[in-house]
């Protein structure tokens, strides 16, 4: 699916969501259509970013790189700094 196709689908789903707003019992249905519109809009943005990167000669978007550990590695006793001193 191309960027214009995804963008067009997002607009279609958003228009469908608007039809259900204000109708009795239509809030849930409107929320589902709005969620679909948001997904397709996000996919269109991602595809556009990737297409721009490819056109600049950078075939892929690099990853975030190494991720630091959540918890620090434990230190042997007597090496870690004393807290509060």
Please report, in tens digits, the pLDDT of each residue of the chain (85 residues total): 667 777 788 898 899 899 888 888 888 999 999 999 999 999 888 888 888 888 887 766 666 777 666 776 777 776 656 655 5
The token duo for 35 is 């969620």
Host domain of residue 14: 3-55
Q: Which tokens is 69 given?
A: 């550990």
- pLDDT the model gives residue 35: 93
How far is the C-alpha of 9 from the C-alpha of 32, rounded, in Å? 14
**Is residue 74 in a domain?**
no
Q: What pLDDT shows up at residue 49? A: 85
66 falls within a domain: no
* pLDDT of 34: 92
Report the number of distinct structural domains present in the chain.
Answer: 1
Q: Residue 24: its pLDDT value, please?
A: 85
- pLDDT of 85 reads 52
Residue 60 lies in a domain: no
């Amino acid at each position: 699916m191309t960027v214009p196709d995804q963008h067009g689908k997002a607009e279609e789903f958003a228009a469908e969501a608007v039809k259900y707003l204000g109708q009795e019992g239509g809030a849930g249905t409107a929320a589902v259509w709005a969620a679909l519109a948001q997904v397709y809009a996000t996919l269109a943005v991602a595809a556009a970013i990737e297409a721009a990167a490819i056109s600049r000669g950078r075939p892929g978007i690099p990853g975030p790189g190494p991720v630091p550990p959540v918890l620090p590695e434990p230190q042997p006793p007597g090496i870690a700094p004393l807290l509060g001193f």
